Amino acid sequence: MTPTDEEQQRVVPVVAVVLAAGSGVRFDPRNPKQLVMLGGKPIVQWCLEAFEHSAAVTDIMVVVNDRVREPVEHIIETTGMTKVRAVINGGAERADSTQAALDTLARFGVPGDAKILIHDSVRPFVSQRQIQDCVDALDEFTAATVADPSTDTVLLTEALGDRKVIKSVPDRRFVFRAQTPQAFRYATIRRAYEFASQDHGFRPTDDTRVVVEYLPDEPVAIVAGSQFNMKVTTPEDMPFAELTAAIITRTSAKHDMRQVLMSAIDELMGGSDTTDQPGAPQQPAPDTQAR
């Protein structure tokens, strides 16, 4: 699929849907993990800021449950986010939350060619490169997902009595670990969920799988992921998450300070352009870009 002349002449909406309706009981039943503090701010705030700061994203929708709605709305208000168009209630499972988002987008009149990026609220370190690559992939495909090559050998198993035994060992060259964002043209993901809704036994934990299962003729492109685009699932994930947050925060602070210094030098030099001079500030690496 390539953009038509008409599409190139108008702005195609790029909507980030942040799924924050999970209960997080595996983490801490008393404190939903999307609200756990990480590097001085709630995990969900990292995600929201990443999409807020993306030049490609035009709109943000946040899917919540009743327990996290007020804190999430407080984050949006106090940080001055301007792209969040709606905070809606999700469902009991991930698929229910995605369906709620798709139904809301339909009521908003989102066009079929809109680009929809669905992201887990507990993947705090999605990079600007990954967001942009998802958006760009939808110029060629109708579905794409961020994924990282598996560094482990994966075993497919089956039951034998009360044991699991190995059924097959897929070639690791072709095995990837799914991450998010998972990106779709709106008409594609909407149609896939319409088919899935008729199969009451299918409860996907991943939106890409809905397209793979119900629209098998639609190829799903792989967008390069990263080990840093981790999902915070259990307390054991927090040490690595804290380390990653510290690295990103430190890199961002250095970049911001350098910008301040170069602006001051520029002013002292009478407003001359310093961007081509030695030592002029450069954008930070995509995977550590300030969120």
- pLDDT, tens digit (0-9, with 9 covering 90-100), for 224-280: 999 999 999 999 999 999 999 998 888 776 666 666 665 665 666 665 444 443 344
Closest CA to 104 of 135, 47, 62: 62
Residue 74 has pLDDT above 90, yes or no: yes
For the chain, percent of residues with pLDDT exceeding 90: 74
Helix axes 94-107, 186-196, angle to 10 degrees: 130
Secondary element (H or E) of residue 203: none
* Torsion sign across C-alpha atoms 23, 118, 148, 199: positive
Residue 112 has pLDDT above 70, yes or no: yes
Is 199 in a helix, a strand, or coil? coil
Secondary element (H or E) of residue 140: none
Closest CA to 101 of 179, 21, 47: 21
Helix axes 207-214, 186-196, angle to 10 degrees: 70
pLDDT for residue 31: 83
Closest CA to 194 of 98, 114, 93: 98
Amino acid at 63: V
- 164 or 289, which is more confident? 164
Residue 205 has pLDDT above 90, yes or no: no
